[in-house]
Amino acid sequence: MIQENCRIVDHSQLAPRYFKIVFSSDHIAKTARPGQFVNIRVSNELTPLLRRPLSIHQSDPEKGTFTLLYETIGYGTELLSKKLVGSELNILGPLGNGFEVVNDIALLVAGGMGIAPLGFLAREAIKSKKDVYCFIGAKNEGLVLCEEGLKSLGAKVTVATEDGSRGEKGLVTHSLEKFLKDFRLTIDGKRLTIYACGPRPMLKAVAAIAAQNNFECRVSMEAYLACGIGACKGCAVDTIEGYRMVCKDGPVFDAKGIKWE
Amino acid sequence: MGIEIAGIKMKNPVMVASGTFGFGEEYSELYDLNRLGAIVTKSVTLLPREGNPPPRIVETPAGMLNSIGLQNDGLKVFLEKHLPYLSKFTVPVIVNVAGETLDEYVDVVKALSKENRVDGIELNISCPNVKKGCMAFGIDPKLTEELVKAAKKASKKPIIVKLSPNVTDITVIAKAAEKAGADALSLINTIMGMAIDIKTKKPKLAMITGGLSGPAIKPIAVRMVWQVAQAVKVPVIGIGGIMTAEDAYEFMLAGASAVQVGTANFVDIESPLKIIEGLKKYI
Ligand SMILES: Cc1cc2nc3c(=O)[nH]c(=O)nc-3n(C[C@H](O)[C@H](O)[C@H](O)COP(=O)(O)OP(=O)(O)OC[C@H]3O[C@@H](n4cnc5c(N)ncnc54)[C@H](O)[C@@H]3O)c2cc1C
Ligand SMILES: Cc1cc2nc3c(=O)[nH]c(=O)nc-3n(C[C@H](O)[C@H](O)[C@H](O)COP(=O)(O)O)c2cc1C
Ligand code: FES
């Protein structure tokens, strides 16, 4: 973990409200693990005051760069989207526990911007010779991210859009459920873990599907953060073991442990 | 830069404020804690506290609301884990204490008094985010006096009393604390506030109200420090929205002998260090 000024080396728009930004930082690029995030000071003014957390989408230890994907949803992310290549932002990271790839089969489920941390996980899982299946859910074709990239890495990709403009029509959780029906019979003894990131209702649905099928499931949770390092107790998520901190104990949690209601 | 407050010797007059720095563990990965004037710990209560349901924080213009609800591991874990960790450093440790009843405060104060590594105790009689106790003491001069007297009787350690801004006249409480033997006063704790999401028409915090901190509260804090500094003889520690050395110096001009930095720790990990460095220009 380090706090430092990082230079923007690339910044581009992927869809009306989706952006990709690349920063240079040797430390973060070398130490980041999938599922971890950085906390960015998007402005030196007093509003917005707090940093904004974004997941690490990719890191390149050789080049000393790391990439984030983000959606503009409010003041902080709007400000970020206007930052120019060459300028510097103050970044704290890498933070959080990250995903652990243990089993033979990794089944990744992304809802919207949820692809951000899962892209990094897919790459690492493939590197360590796991079978990787990706389910990408989006509102429409224009908002489907990373499909080609993941395919070229060797992941098996299923896309679901709510309006049916690409891939299967409907919610990504529906595609997942359909897929598992047959697939679970073919994995003969291999162990499988589901990793999910996206809006809370989607995570809840994925957790239920995993539980029905008796698969392990890890979810990346969100909360408002203040300190980002576990000191302020502001980012509580309710679990069966009591309140846990999204920034330090998470953002990745065992789906079984989350109190979804 | 060195000062002595309530008998606690500090390298510089810049401390980190309770609840924004945990017990120092997280921040110690980022810089040498010995550079600070003192560390004020998260509030310690007799028994562990789970804290309030989420959402617990929300950002507001130039500030934030929090309703953490004093989540902490309780006295036992503090003594077994957090205090030994802090013993690795030489920086003065001021333990912030909260409770629901007078006896709870006294029990914690007594236990802390036996610890060499505890340099001072800050009584939090000003947390707005718990149903029982705490701020109930800090808005009533009689209860304040009783509590401070009991704490002084229970301990030889310096006692700092942390005041609430959520009162009509803060000098009345300040004088009550001084009369009861407080060695110093610190102020302000957070100001009760509220924010509503106009889309969902619901409060943004699960507890509905929370405590406002950050630059937004600085003018109120400076005013209260100025009022209290004139009303009492004991040293006053200024807290509230301090982001820069200039902010800290402003509090000193208002009568504060030292300052605590809170919310700024979230914005820039190094802000206390930058404030210490920057203050050299002024004092
Ligand atoms: C660990 C972690 C990793 C994240 N990774 C990514 C990522 O990779 N890409 C990405 O696009 N986003 C990510 N997010 C979410 C991102 O941090 C928020 O979208 C961002 O902070 C919003 O800031 P803003 O100033 O633009 O919006 P604000 O003006 O703060 O908020 C706009 C609206 O969004 C709501 N909102 C904002 N933040 C949150 C939140 N954390 N939870 C629930 N509701 C919220 C607010 O209530 C408000 O209605 C992550 C969040 C966390 C906690
Ligand atoms: C997240 C958070 C948690 C806090 N917890 C405590 C606490 O446990 N005990 C206490 O006395 N004050 C607590 N405070 C109050 C601060 O110590 C300080 O008095 C207040 O935030 C004003 O200073 P600031 O504007 O510099 O943050 C907390 C403040 C914040 C923001
Ligand atoms: S944001 Fe402070 S503990 Fe998580």
ipTM score for this prediction: 0.94
Range of the domain at A68: 2-95
> Any idea what the CATH number is for the domain that residue A151 is in?
3.40.50.80
> Any idea what the CATH number is for the domain that residue A54 is in?
2.40.30.10
Q: Give tens-digit pLDDT for A210-252.
A: 999 889 999 999 999 999 999 999 999 999 999 999 999 999 9
What backbone phi and psi angles, to 5 degrees, belong to A57? -90, -25
Q: What is the CA radius of gyration of chain B?
A: 17
Stated as kind and residue range, the H or E segment containing A10 is strand A2-15
- Residue A30 to residues A24, A58, A93, A251, B29, Cα–Cα distance (Å): 11, 11, 11, 20, 17
Domains: count for chain B: 1
Residues A166 and A206 in one domain: yes
Q: Spell out the residues 6+ positions from residue A62 whose beta carbon is closer than 8 angstroms to its own.
A: none
The residue to mutate among A224, A227, A232, A233, having the most atoms of ligand 2 within 8 angstroms of its beta carbon, is A232
B59: tokens are 């950002």
Residue A102: pLDDT band (50, 70, 90) is: confident
pLDDT given at position B279 = 97
pLDDT given at position B127 = 82
Instruction: Give residue ranges with CB within 6 A of ligand 1.
Output: A 37, 48, 52-55, 68-71, 73-77, 113, 116, 222-225, 246, 251
| Overall size of chain A counted in residues | 261
Q: What is the DSSP letter of B82?
A: I
3-state secondary structure (DSSP) of residue A183 = helix
Taking the Cβ of residue A224 and every Cβ of chain B, the question of whether any pair is shorter than 8 Å is answered with: yes
Domain assignment present for residue A239? The answer is no
pLDDT given at position A113 = 96
Domain assignment present for residue B62? The answer is no
Residue A184: pLDDT band (50, 70, 90) is: confident
- Mean pLDDT, chain A, rounded, equals 95
Q: Give tens-digit pLDDT for B48-82.
A: 999 999 999 999 999 999 999 999 999 999 999 99
Q: Give tens-digit pLDDT for A53-71.
A: 999 999 999 999 999 999 9
Domain assignment present for residue B199? The answer is no
Q: Give tens-digit pLDDT for B181-223.
A: 999 999 999 999 999 999 999 999 999 999 999 999 999 999 9
Q: Which of A49, A51, A223 sits opposite B214 (nearest CB)?
A: A49
Judged against a pLDDT cut of 80, whether residue A188 lies above it is answered with no
Q: What is the DSSP letter of A198?
A: S
Domain assignment present for residue A243? The answer is no
Residues A89 and A118 in one domain: no
Domain assignment present for residue A206? The answer is yes
Q: Give tens-digit pLDDT for A7-62.
A: 999 999 999 999 999 999 999 999 999 999 999 999 999 999 999 999 999 999 99
Which residues, in sequence order, are bridge partners of residue B124? Answer: B162
Judged against a pLDDT cut of 80, whether residue A185 lies above it is answered with no
Domain assignment present for residue B196? The answer is no
Q: Percent of chain B scored above 70 by pLDDT?
A: 100
Judged against a pLDDT cut of 80, whether residue B178 lies above it is answered with yes
Domain assignment present for residue A140? The answer is yes
**CB contact burial B21-56 (16+ within 10 A = b; e otherwise):** bbbbbbbbeeeebebbbbbbbbbbbbeebebbebbb
Q: Give tens-digit pLDDT for B14-23.
A: 999 999 999 9
Q: Which of B27, B53, B266 sits opposite A238 (nearest CB)?
A: B53
The nearest CA of chain A is from the CA of B270 a distance in Å of 9
Judged against a pLDDT cut of 90, whether residue A190 lies above it is answered with no
**E strand intervals along B26-69:** 38-40, 57-60, 63-66
pLDDT given at position A177 = 93
Judged against a pLDDT cut of 90, whether residue B129 lies above it is answered with no
Ligand 1, atom 20, lies closest to the CA of: A52
Q: Give tens-digit pLDDT for B219-274.
A: 999 999 999 999 999 999 999 999 999 999 999 999 999 999 999 999 999 999 99
Domain assignment present for residue B152? The answer is yes
Q: How many CA atoms lie within 13 A of A220 on its CB side?
A: 28
Residues A112 and A70 in one domain: no
Taking the Cβ of residue A49 and every Cβ of chain B, the question of whether any pair is shorter than 8 Å is answered with: yes
Domains: count for chain A: 2
Domain assignment present for residue A111? The answer is yes
- Mean pLDDT, chain B, rounded, equals 96
pLDDT given at position A114 = 96
Considering A73, A95, A117, which residue would you say is the last residue of a domain? Answer: A95
Domain assignment present for residue B42? The answer is yes
Domain assignment present for residue B253? The answer is yes
For residue B43, which atom of ligand 2 is closest to its CA?
Answer: 8
Domain assignment present for residue A120? The answer is yes
> Any idea what the CATH number is for the domain that residue B274 is in?
3.20.20.70
**How far apart are the C-alpha atoms of B192 and B227, rounded to whole Å?**
20
Q: Give tens-digit pLDDT for A103-146.
A: 889 999 999 999 999 999 999 999 998 999 999 999 999 999 99
Instruction: For tokens 């109120």, name the residue.
Output: B220
**How far apart are the C-alpha atoms of A83 and A91, rounded to whole Å?**
14
Residues A9 and A89 in one domain: yes
Residues A116 and A199 in one domain: yes
Judged against a pLDDT cut of 80, whether residue A189 lies above it is answered with no
**How far apart are the C-alpha atoms of B174 and B231, rounded to whole Å?**
8
Considering A67, A95, A123, which residue would you say is the last residue of a domain? Answer: A95
pLDDT given at position B82 = 97
pLDDT given at position B136 = 82
Angle between helices B170-179 and B141-154 (to 10 degrees): 30
Asked if the bond preceding B92 is cis, omega within 30° of 0, the reply is: no
Domain assignment present for residue A117? The answer is yes
C-beta atoms of B266 and A3 within 8 A: no
Residues A35 and A112 in one domain: no
**CB contact burial A45-80 (16+ within 10 A = b; e otherwise):** ebbbbbbbbbbbbbbeeeebbbbbbbbbeeebbeeb
Q: Spell out the residues 6+ positions from residue A46 whose beta carbon is closer than 8 angstroms to its own.
A: B62, B214, B215, B243
Residue A101: pLDDT band (50, 70, 90) is: confident
User: What is the mean pLDDT of the segment spanning A74-80?
Assistant: 96
Residues A210 and A117 in one domain: yes
Residues A157 and A213 in one domain: yes
Which residues, in sequence order, are bridge partners of residue B212? Answer: B65, B191
- Within a 10 A sphere around the Cβ of B178, how many other Cβ atoms? 20
**How far apart are the C-alpha atoms of B110 and A223, rounded to whole Å?**
38
3-state secondary structure (DSSP) of residue A22 = strand
Considering A95, A114, A133, which residue would you say is the last residue of a domain? Answer: A95
Provide the residue type at B271 as one letter: S
Residues A17 and A84 in one domain: yes
Range of the domain at B173: 3-50+70-191+214-282
Identify the residue among B18, B26, B85 best suited for mutation to test binding to A, counting A beta carbons within 10 A and taking the highest. B26
Domain assignment present for residue A256? The answer is no
